[in-house]
Amino acid sequence: MVSVALGVRYQFSALRDGAGFFMTIQCFLQMPFINSYVPVLPNTALHAGVTYPLFKAINNK
């Protein structure tokens, strides 16, 4: 399988441990699929969601 992905992320706050939104598009080729009919099957997937940390980051200053 060969794959390439491109994504963006937006952080809602300036804090490192705040919530954020992400969107990624992934294009991949599944091979060998069916050698006698379709040797390569192209696929595309769109991933979108919200990230929220479960634990706060610890500052070691």
Edge-to-edge strand list for the sheet holding 20-30: 2-11, 20-30, 41-51
Q: Which of 7-11, 19-23, 28-32, 52-56 has the lowest mean pLDDT?
A: 52-56
Does residue 57 surpass a pLDDT of 80?
Answer: no
- Residue % of the chain over a pLDDT of 70: 90
Instruction: Assign 59 to helix, strand or coil.
Output: coil
Specify the pTM: 0.67
Mean predicted confidence (pLDDT) in 18-23: 91
Which residues, 6+ apart, have CB-to-CB distance to 28 below 8 Å? 1, 2, 3, 4, 42, 43, 44, 45
Residue 10 confidence (pLDDT): 92
Does residue 40 surpass a pLDDT of 80?
Answer: yes
Amino acid, single-letter form, for residue 60: N
